[in-house]
Amino acid sequence: LPAEGQMRFAVTVEGSTKASMTGDDLTQFYLKVNGPDAAFSFFDSIVKDEQGNWKASSKQLLWKGKDEESAITYAAASYGALGADYLNTPFTDESFTSGTVLPVLADQSTQERLNAADLLTMKESESLAFEKTKDGVIPITLKHGLSKVNFVLTLDGEFYDKEIGLETNPLTDVVVSGAKRSFSFEPMTGEVSVPDTVQTGKVVPFAGSYEPGTRQGGGQGGESHVRVRPGPSGTGRRRPEAEFLHRHRKL
């Protein structure tokens, strides 16, 4: 086995956009490996080193052998921009198996904090043997586990200087109210759910682009992004609503 049978990882983040966590942003995630026996089953955080290689933070993760009898299954997840420690909710071996409750970050006003609110998940894989990999490299594809809600505002009337939109965005604050403030997550299945008893609250979103316009064409008063877990339509659950402040006056 190469490198003394050490497991290596090829990590990608699927469906990344400008306002979400990308593969370049990701520096750490948690991995659960179910091996052929207890000695080759692991739970550890996987970190990216300065050369861009992914390694287990506390131990060497080893393949038992090359054949099907030494095959593994595995699952991965990341939440809370672990390096920034905004949420301080690291996963444990037990929570990976039994599930856990995670908070929704209340302040998502910067790109770093928006990333912190981005749950990345990969449910338990199919059986994988060393002989079906390239030199023992384990592919890990993380997907976004929460919904990203975008608010796009068109300004008119008092927001114009004569016929031209204001150079500076007149909206000073945006607050999303009625957002679910926590959710249940099962890393091994990748399932996210919101019990009816979950409290709602306010979330400060990330402010995107602003484009001045004209009275005829209108102008975009900014695009805001926030990661929440709203209830599905038809359930009677309250949907998130937005409060927009113009010079500290509620609109």
Highest mean pLDDT among 169-178, 207-216, 240-249: 169-178
pTM of the model: 0.79
Q: Quick check: 25 and 142 in contact, CB under 8 A?
A: no
Q: How much is the pLDDT for 225? A: 62
Q: What percent of the chain has pLDDT over 70?
A: 73
| Residue 56 pLDDT greater than 70, yes or no | yes
Bridge partners, residue 133, by sequence: none
| 154: confidence class by pLDDT, cuts 50, 70, 90 | confident
**Nearest one of 230, 241, 171, 176 to 203, comparing CA atoms:** 176
The residue with greater pLDDT, 106 or 19, is 106
Note the pLDDT of residue 95.
Answer: 92
Q: Which of 101, 49, 58, 97 minimizes the C-alpha distance to 79?
A: 101
3-class DSSP string for 123-189: CCCCCECHHHCECCEEEEEEEECCEEEEEEEEECHHHEECCEECCCCCEEEEEEEEEECEEEEECCC
Rounded CA separation 249/81 (Å):
33
Closest CA to 100 of 81, 82, 119: 119
pLDDT digits (tens, 9 = 90+) for 7-44: 999 999 987 655 577 888 888 999 999 999 999 999 99
pLDDT above 90 coverage of the chain, percent:
38
Confidence of residue 247 (pLDDT cuts 50, 70, 90): very low
Within 10 Å of residue 135's Cβ, how many Cβ atoms? Answer: 9
**More confident call, 170 vs 240:** 170
**How would residue 173 be classed by pLDDT, with cut points 50, 70 and 90?**
confident
CA angle 155, 179, 157 (to 5 degrees): 10
